[in-house]
Amino acid sequence: MLTCEQLTGLVTDYIEGWLPMRQRFRFRLHVALCRSCRRYLRQMRLTIGALNGLPRQPLPPAKEQELMHRFRAWQRA
Ligand SMILES: [Zn+2]
């Protein structure tokens, strides 16, 4: 079974529908058995829904590049 920490690392892929079937099954099994992760998943969905309701403003290209650079550095760490 997935650990709570593993689940938090997969939650974005799960919500966006990118998890392979086996991982999705393991994710759902954990959520069915773990109240904390059910709450976490619900909060993530609410947060994403709230953020999607905000007006979108384009980022200045330099800021976008800086954020992407930091994100890739974070992924490598
Ligand atoms: Zn959990």
Q: Exposure pattern of 38-75 as b/e (b: 16+ CB <10 Å)?
A: eebbeeeeeeeeeeeeeeeeeeeeeeeeeeeeeeeeee
Query: Is residue 66 in some structural domain?
Result: no
Q: What percent of the chain has pLDDT over 70?
A: 100
Taking the C-alpha atoms of residue 8 and residue 71, their distance in angstroms, rounded to an integer, is 17
Query: Is residue 71 in some structural domain?
Result: no
CA of 23 from ligand 1 middle (Å) equals: 15
Q: How many domains does the chain contain in total?
A: 1
pTM of the model: 0.71
CA of 16 from ligand 1 middle (Å) equals: 19
Full residue range of the structural domain in which residue 4 is found = 1-55
Query: Is residue 24 in some structural domain?
Result: yes
CA of 63 from ligand 1 middle (Å) equals: 35
Query: Is residue 3 in some structural domain?
Result: yes
Query: Is residue 21 in some structural domain?
Result: yes
User: pLDDT tens for residues 57-74?
Assistant: 888 999 999 999 999 999
CA of 45 from ligand 1 middle (Å) equals: 16
